[in-house]
Each structure stands twice: as structure tokens, then as C-alpha cells.
Amino acid sequence: MNFLRVILILCFAFLAFPEKPASGGKIYKWVDERGVVHFSDQEPGTDEAKGTIEEKEFRDPSSVEPTKDTVIRETSRNPIEYVTNCTFTIKGPKRTGSGFLISSGGYALTCKHVVEDVSNLVALMNDQQEAQLNVLFMSSKYDLALVQVMMPRKMPYLTIRDAQGLAPGDRLFAVGASAGLHSTVTDGVFTGFRTIDTAKGNFIQFSAPLNPGNSGGPLVDENGMVVGVVSLKFLSQQGTPVSGVGFAVPSAQIKEEYGTYIEK
């Protein structure tokens, strides 16, 4: 074997077996002059971004170990049980909320008000395992936040559908840490879309009972598909207690803010 053949073989080996990618990095978020939100692992130039460039550390989802729970969907007895396996309780100093997975690499959604100004957050999964919870981005427009559950394995995740297809009376389920009780499921029906001036946004109104701890959990249809993120409820009106009036951030706003991270 001559010297040239040795060089060619080594080059082929390098191309066929490239170096393993890094297990983490940084994500950059910015808005261009047209108002379009961008996400990238490459820092934008000063002529690309308008305003502040957000920078966050993350773990590459491709670096996590394969899961032993690949049969979770198949072994779930109904779609809502599967939802509970994709939902977790968020535990922080003097604060409890909920979140749910949107990718096998641990990317997840919750409400901005659940994680804002809180440190040392922990995710309590449905199998009672605890994991560090990193806050990646908080929306400046909606009550939404993108977080990452730091588990060393791939995880089950939920599918997000278009909430505009809902009709009044369609059955919906809210899953979360209602009153601090892990993986509580409550059900109700879809009423309509409401604009709430004090909350600055358009919301899904539904009738499933809510309690402190529900915020950030998924609102799903009978097939277990996410239509929104549980955000708030009416407690009283003019001194009269109100029940069965809950609101969720619609799926369209989820996709607008964090569609890049949703695993299909």
C-alpha cells in the first residue's frame, strides 16, 4: 500500500466517522427590523438584530441516552394517562406550578409567571424522579416560558394541535399540580376565545376546575393533544365567588414563540 492510498483511506475514515457533536451550547434569540423573532445557535451580526440579543446555555437533546420508556405511549390505557406521563410539577422556593414536555430532549413549556424571578427550580416527573429545570426563554408577549428538564434520557412528549378547530362544548382536560397534588386531572368543556384586557391577550376559556399549581400545565383534547397552556382563572366578580371559568394561552401563541423547539 503506497503512501497516497494511506492518505486517501484516512480521509475517508474521517468523513465516514465524524467527531461526535458537543453535548451543549448556546441559543440566541433576537428580533429583526421586520419584527420577526429568530432563534439560532450562531450569534447574529449587529446589522441583523434590532434591540437586545438573548443568550442562553442549553444541552443538545441528541446527546441524551435512549429512554427505557419507549413503550409509555403504547402502555398508556388512554390518551389522558399518556398526558400525565409528559407533565411535571415545578417546585421552587414558595412556589408550585406545572409544565409539560414538547420534545424527547427535555424541552418543555410552562407559564412565565410560574418561573419568573425564581431560582433553583426542580421538575418532579410523573414517575417521582426529580430533575434540574433550566429556564431558557420567557416570552415578552404572552404568559409563556420555554424550559428544559435536565434528564439523562429521552422522554415522552405531547403533540400540539390548532386550537382554532375547537367548537363550544368540546371536552377538554387540564393536567397539573392542582392544589399541590401531582398529576391531577380535571375536565370541562371549551366555551370560546376571550380577550382579557388586564392579562393583555387572547385566551381559551374552558370550564375545567383549576387550583393553585395548575398554572403552566397542558390543556388537552380527548385525544391528548395540546390546545393551550393553563394560565389563569376568575376567582370572583364584584365580591361574588366564580367557579368553572378558566383560561389558557392558545396553541397558536405557543407556536409563534417556540415553534422551533416543538418535536413533531
The number of distinct structural domains making up the chain is 3
Whole-number Å distance between alpha carbons of 116 and 102: 20
Considering the candidates 139, 215, 231, 251, report the single residue annotated as catalytic: 215
- Based on the fold, state whether residues 39 and 70 are members of the same structural domain: no
Whole-number Å distance between alpha carbons of 173 and 206: 9
- The pLDDT score that the predictor gives to residue 56 is 62
- Based on the fold, state whether residues 109 and 121 are members of the same structural domain: yes
- The pLDDT score that the predictor gives to residue 244 is 87
- The pLDDT score that the predictor gives to residue 36 is 64
- The pLDDT score that the predictor gives to residue 53 is 75
Secondary structure string (H, E, C) spanning 71-129: CHHHHCCCHHHHHHHCEEEEEECCEEEEEEECCCCCEEEECHHHHCCCCCCEEECCCCC
**215 a catalytic residue:** yes
Whole-number Å distance between alpha carbons of 222 and 80: 7
- The pLDDT score that the predictor gives to residue 25 is 65
Sign of dihedral through CA atoms 130, 118, 97, 167? negative
Kindly state whether residue 16 falls inside one of the protein's structural domains.
no
Range of the domain at 36: 23-59
User: What are the tens digits of pLDDT across the range 177-207?
Assistant: 999 999 999 999 999 999 987 777 899 999 9
Residues of the chain with pLDDT under 50: 1-23, 67-69
Whole-number Å distance between alpha carbons of 50 and 72: 44
- The pLDDT score that the predictor gives to residue 70 is 52
Considering the candidates 113, 183, 221, 251, report the single residue annotated as catalytic: 113
Kindly state whether residue 98 falls inside one of the protein's structural domains.
yes
Kindly state whether residue 101 falls inside one of the protein's structural domains.
yes
- Based on the fold, state whether residues 86 and 118 are members of the same structural domain: yes
- Based on the fold, state whether residues 235 and 178 are members of the same structural domain: yes
Residue 210 belongs to domain with CATH number: 2.40.10.10
Kindly state whether residue 177 falls inside one of the protein's structural domains.
yes
- Based on the fold, state whether residues 45 and 108 are members of the same structural domain: no
Domain boundary among 12, 37, 59: 59
Kindly state whether residue 232 falls inside one of the protein's structural domains.
yes
- Based on the fold, state whether residues 55 and 65 are members of the same structural domain: no
Task: Report the first-to-last Cα separation within the chain, whole angstroms.
Answer: 49
- The pLDDT score that the predictor gives to residue 73 is 74
- Alpha helices for the chain (secondary structure H): 3-16, 72-75, 79-85, 112-115, 251-258
Kindly state whether residue 7 falls inside one of the protein's structural domains.
no
Considering the candidates 104, 139, 143, 182, report the single residue annotated as catalytic: 143
- Based on the fold, state whether residues 227 and 246 are members of the same structural domain: yes
User: What are the tens digits of pLDDT across the range 244-255?
Assistant: 899 999 999 999
- The pLDDT score that the predictor gives to residue 242 is 75
Domain boundary among 12, 42, 59: 59
Kindly state whether residue 1 falls inside one of the protein's structural domains.
no
- Based on the fold, state whether residues 145 and 201 are members of the same structural domain: no
Kindly state whether residue 133 falls inside one of the protein's structural domains.
yes
- Based on the fold, state whether residues 183 and 97 are members of the same structural domain: no
